[in-house]
Structure 1
Amino acid sequence: MAATDYGSHRLVVGAHYGMRDWLAQRVTAVVMALYTVFMLVVVFWPGQLDYARWQALFANQATKLFTLVALLAVLYHVWVGMRDIWMDYVKPVGLRLSLQVLTIMWLLACVGGAVQVLWRV
């Protein structure tokens, strides 16, 4: 249950605290697993695995979109995990907030770089 601080007392204000994050971790893990299977099929598919084949694969909009969705799943999965690590193990509030902001900035930079690479093909 969610709790809100009121002085030295904690007031319970709702149920299913953390359920959204738990579900997000499971859903993003499924997306990552599906993308991994897709990439394994591509790699082990009969034929030569060369630049032309990769270029043709990623010229397809569906592949680009699936890759972007998988990347966003990875990044959200990382965010939930890192945020929980910062909250659980970094006690000074200012340091924890700084680490969370740096994590968000790094993840956004990763998305920006990935979008540039995906849509450059």
Structure 2
Amino acid sequence: MVRTVTSFGRSGTFDWLYQRVTAVILLAYVLFIVGFIFFTKDFGYQAWSELFAQRWMRVFSLVALLSTVIHAWIGLWSVVTDYITNRVMGGKATVLRLFVEVILAAVAVLYTVWGIEILWGV
């Protein structure tokens, strides 16, 4: 079996499963945030600040952030490998593919660290 080092999971099945699980987590997060905005009587900075002062909300937000990064990585990896290297370059662009994946990975790490810093005030 051929193993792809830059894929998130061990196979296409794992990538598919990761993407579906992260999509459900992101849906739950978005529905909660939208519900909070619409159903809070006096929605403003104070209510928003009190919500994010609670540990469970910061953990929920961290899980949503990590789910976003995982979901985006799998999607972007698929686009890079399927469309950029195979369709545009005829499958002969390994250096270009690795370069793009390194840039995307660096951005993902940067956004993850930045998000953790925002959530936990590190």
TMscore range, shorter length: 0.7 to 0.9
Q: Which has the higher helix share?
A: 2
Match of 1:24 in 2: 18
Q: Cα deviations across residues 11-34 of structure 1 (Å, max 9, x unaligned)? A: xxxxx9410001011000000000
TM superposition shift of 1:3 = 4.2
Report the count of equivalent residues.
109
| TM, length-normalised to structure 1 | 0.84
Structure with the larger RCO, 1 or 2 (CA within 8 Å, 6+ apart): 2
Q: Which has the higher strand share?
A: 1
Runs of 4 or more, structure 1, over 4 Å off, are none
| TM, length-normalised to structure 2 | 0.83
Q: What RMSD over aligned residues (CA atoms) do the two structures have, in Å? A: 1.8
Larger Rg: 1
Match of 1:37 in 2: 31
Structure 2 unaligned spans of 5+: 4-9, 86-92
Match of 1:115 in 2: 116
Q: What fraction of aligned residue pairs are identical, expressed as a percent?
A: 32
Matched, 1:69 2:70: no
Structure 1 unaligned spans of 5+: 5-15
